[in-house]
Amino acid sequence: MISGCGLFGSGLYVYHHTKKYQNPAGQAAMYAISSVLVLLGTARILDIPPFQDRFKRKE
C-alpha cells in the first residue's frame, strides 16, 4: 500500500512540475512519465498485473 501511494504521489508531483517546461516536447514527455507513474501506483494499490502476487496459494 505504501509503495503504491508513493508511486501515485510521485506521478502527481511530476505532473505538477510540468508547468516549468516551455518546450512542448518536454511537456509531453513529462506528462507521459507522470501518467505511467500514476498508473503503476494504481496497479500496485489494486494488486493487478504487473504487481499481482504469483505465489499465492490457491485453496
Query: 24-52: per-residue pLDDT in tens?
Result: 898 999 999 999 999 999 888 887 777 66
| Sequence letter at residue 17 | H
Report whether pLDDT(53) > 80. no
Residue 7 in grid coordinates? 508511486
pLDDT the model gives residue 58: 60
| Residue 59 pLDDT | 56
Whole-angstrom distance, CA of residue 22 vs CA of residue 25? 9
* C-alpha cell recorded at residue 25: 516536447
Exposure class string for 2-15: b at 16+ Cβ within 10 A, else e: eebeebbebbeebb
DSSP state of 49: T
* Residue of higher predicted confidence among 32 and 59: 32
Let me know how long the chain is: 59
pLDDT at position 52 is 66
**What pLDDT shows up at residue 9?**
92
| The model's pTM | 0.74
